[in-house]
Amino acid sequence: MRERLDQRVQDSVALDEIELYAEVLSAVAVSDGPLTPEELDEVLGIQHAN
């Protein structure tokens, strides 16, 4: 018999990925068109060294 998984256990990496995906979807929803690479970087919090 297969043991039940403890529902209290969470995968923090998966939850972080889901949060990022939700942020991108929200940005796309309010955008007039496709996000530019720069807009996507901003949504994801990516900063480029100048």
3-state SS, one letter per residue, for 15-44? HHHHHHHHHHHHHHHHCCCCCCHHHHHHHH
Q: In this predicted structure, what is the pLDDT of residue 7?
A: 67
Q: What is the pLDDT of residue 12?
A: 84
Q: Domain for residue 39, yes or no?
A: yes
pLDDT digits (tens, 9 = 90+) for 6-49: 666 678 888 888 999 999 999 999 999 999 999 999 999 998 88
Q: Which domain holds residue 16?
A: 12-44
HSE on the CB side for 23, CA within 13 Å?
13
On whether residue 4 sits in a domain, the answer given is: no
Residue 8: what pLDDT? 67
Count structural domains, the chain: 1
